[in-house]
């Protein structure tokens, strides 16, 4: 059973191009088969993933593994989902290091850099969209305040994130 969990999540780990959200339907189907996960429990897990650090697919693996087989299950599923990318990254990194002066690798890296900048801007937009559209003024202030603190005053991101979390929680007190 633990081996089944491991193999199942190994397969999911191979599929997950481009991050967690694309993996969700596969993870849900698998969670239902292996752990009898209901739609409700799944929604709760996704909600929990939103409020805890860490990537969704890894959180889901830990969750489904734990629910179906305890700590060992959580470990097996988490290792399973991480392993494919772990191996692929090492192979790719090795390849790039070896051929880093070739025209192909140089050209590929040079061509992909502007795309990464664009994808970062998209990510900022998507994260902001959830909270800023129809959101309260306070969230706009936090986004703009963050940019000023980070650019002008070089405040560490960790300090900013902790500070933002405290402000957001206090704001709900409505005092």
Partner 1 sequence: MYFQLFWNFFKLGSFTIGGGMAMIPFIKDIVVEKEKWLTEDEMIDCLAISQGLPGVIAVNVATYIGYRLKGIKGAMVATLGVVMPSFFIIIALIKFLSELSDNVYIDGAIKAIKSAAAGLILVAAYGIGKSTLKSVSKVLIAFTSFALVGFVSINGLWAIVAGIIIGIGTSYYEKWRDR
Within residues 42-101, the interface with partner 1 by CB under 8 A covers 44-45, 47-48, 50-59, 62-63, 66-67, 71, 74, 78, 82, 84-86, 88-90, 92-94, 96-97
Give min distance, CB of 4 to partner 1, in A: 20
Give min distance, CB of 98 to partner 1, in A: 13
Q: Helices 137-151 and 103-132 sit at what angle, rounded to 10 degrees?
A: 140
Give min distance, CB of 164 to partner 1, in A: 4
CA 131 to chain centre: 18
DSSP 8-state code for residue 45: H
Q: Are 13 and 47 in contact (CB under 8 A)?
A: no
CA 60 to chain centre: 11
Q: Which of residues 119-148 bind partner 1 (CB under 8 A)?
A: 119-128, 130-132, 135, 138-140, 142-147
In whole angstroms, what is the distance from residue 174 CA to residue 138 CA? 12
Segment interacting with partner 1, rule: CB under 8 A, options 2-10, 28-36, 107-115: 107-115
CB closer to partner 1, 1 vs 21:
21
Instruction: By CB under 8 A, name the one of 8, 16, 31, 80 that touches partner 1.
Output: 16
Q: Residue 160 class from Cβ within 10 Å (0-12 exposed, 13-18 middle, 19+ buried)? A: middle
């Amino acid at each position: 059973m633990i081996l089944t969990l491991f193999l199942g999540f190994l397969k999911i780990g191979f599929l997950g191009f481009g991050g967690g959200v694309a993996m969700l339907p596969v993870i849900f189907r698998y969670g239902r088969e292996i752990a009898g996960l209901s739609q409700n429990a799944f929604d709760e897990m996704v909600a929990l993933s939103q409020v805890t650090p860490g990537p969704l697919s890894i959180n889901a693996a830990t969750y489904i593994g734990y629910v179906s087989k305890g700590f060992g299950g959580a470990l097996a599923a988490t290792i399973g989902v991480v392993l494919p990318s772990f191996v692929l990254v090492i192979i790719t990194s090795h390849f790039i290091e070896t051929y880093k002066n070739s025209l192909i690798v140089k050209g590929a890296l040079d061509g992909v850099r502007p795309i990464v900048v664009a994808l970062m801007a998209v990510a900022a937009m998507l994260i902001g969209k959830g909270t800023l559209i129809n959101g309260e003024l306070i969230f706009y202030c936090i986004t703009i305040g963050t940019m000023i603190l980070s650019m002008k005053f070089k405040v560490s991101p960790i300090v900013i994130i902790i500070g933002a979390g405290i402000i957001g929680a206090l704001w709900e007190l409505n005092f």
